[in-house]
Structure 1
Amino acid sequence: MEFKKIEDSQLEMTQLMLPSHSNFSGFIHGGYILSLMDQAAFACASKHSGHYCVTASVNKVDFLNPIEVGDLLRLKASINYTGRTSMVVGLRVESENIKTGVIKHCNSSYFTMVAKGEDGKSTKVPGLILNTETSVRRFARSIIRQQQAKERKENFHDSEFRIEDNLQHLKGQNAIVEIG
């Protein structure tokens, strides 16, 4: 079985944020940032696996700081976890004000990418060599996030939903239930 160092597939992309990327408030569209994150995750996963990769899922993305027109956007991507055919790519997005040099952490997320062979089917990926405490922590946390996602999925079945069991969750919320 083949294994690779994390450093061998890490990458950093930098892009100038232009007016065409902004919304009416002058900040960069979140959807545009997500698209760049997907590109960085694809490049990192493809570099690691040696195959074309597709996005299987995106873990929570919180936009922490706005990104302004004229900022340099830096996306850092690294393989955090490898399964049999999938990889979790950790992404960190930072913006830098060119005039002041101030760097802001804008968001972080985890993209699960799946390697595809020439036949279009999922194909094996090299494993990871975990050579730092940080790499072990990131690998272990990826496993925990996968377990939590599986538990959430198992806990929510439409066929088992009973409205009367869930009305208490709506108390104090900004909603009114008016079911005939």
Structure 2
Amino acid sequence: MNQAGQKRSSDSRTIMTQLIFPLDTNHYDTMFGGKLMEYMDKVAAIAAMRHARTRVVTASTDSLDFLAPIRIGEVIEVEAFVTWTHRSSMEIYVTVTAENLYTGTRAVTVTAFFTFVALGEDGKPCPVPSVVPENELEKQLFATAPDRHQLRRNRKKDRLGN
């Protein structure tokens, strides 16, 4: 932690590497989207727990964009880090990069934003440290996060009919 109540985005960075096998794929020999979403949610949860150092729950997933297929035999890296925080919520940016191990070709195949809420011992939302972005991507995501936060709030409000 840098200053009181602040943590760097890099402190939460989490990376998982997986080799894609036939059981991970559909009848097109590309990875099941739902299986990939499970991996993304797990990695995002770990990043959120590293930041908050407490229990967390998934509150939303948005801007989940599948940019390219992932094929049998490729390796994926699922990477996540906390981009911004509100009182008890954290926005986590998740990317998936696929690599062909024979050619070395790498490509970002999926990106998404997850929102997690930190929970105290009583099971209720609890405060989380703020984020200190360091590199250009972290600074860009941090600067644009309040707008995404407001869009999520509006979407939730619209769905609840409030």
User: Normalising by the residue count of structure 1, what TM-score does the alignment of the two structures yield?
Assistant: 0.81
2:6 aligns with one of 3, 7, 25: 3
Task: Give the letter for the 2:69 counterpart.
Answer: P
The equivalences for 1:21-170 within 5 A come to 21-153=24-156
Matched residue pairs, number? 159
C-alpha separation in 1, matches of 2:119 and 2:151: 26
Q: What is the distance in 1 between the residues matched to 2:161 and 2:138?
A: 38
Cα distance in 1, alignment partners of residues 41 and 159 from structure 2: 27
CA positional deviation for 1:135? 2.8
Q: Deviations over 1:79-117 (max 9, x none)?
A: 100111110000111100111111111011000011112
Task: Quote how far apart the aligned CAs of 1:129 are.
Answer: 1.9
RMSD: 1.9
Report the secondary structure of 1:118's partner residue: coil
Letter matched to residue 149 of structure 1: R
Higher relative contact order (CA 8 A, sep 6+): 2
Structure with higher strand content? 2
Instruction: Tell me the secondary structure at the aligned position of residue 91 of structure 2.
Output: strand
Following superposition, the deviation at residue 24 of structure 1 comes to 1.1
Q: Is the 8 A contact 2:95 2:112 kept in 1?
A: yes
Return the match for 1:12 from 3, 12, 15: 15
Question: Is the partner of 1:59 in helix, strand or coil?
Answer: strand
Do 2:64 and 2:112's aligned partners in 1 also have CA atoms closer than 8 Å? yes
Q: 1:130: how far off?
A: 3.1
1:18 deviation in Å? Answer: 1.1
Consecutive aligned runs of 4 or more in structure 1 exceeding 4 Å deviation: 152-159
Measure, in 2, the Cα distance between the counterparts of 1:51 and 1:156: 29
SS of equivalent to 1:69? coil
User: SS of the residue aligned with 2:63?
Assistant: coil
What stretches of structure 2 of length at least 5 have no aligned partner? none
Query: How far 1:155 moved relative to its partner?
Result: 5.8
- How many angstroms does 1:2 deviate by? 1.4
Q: Deviations over 1:119-160 (max 9, x none)?
A: 21111111112344433321121111122333445567869x
Report the TM-score, using the length of structure 2 for normalisation.
0.89
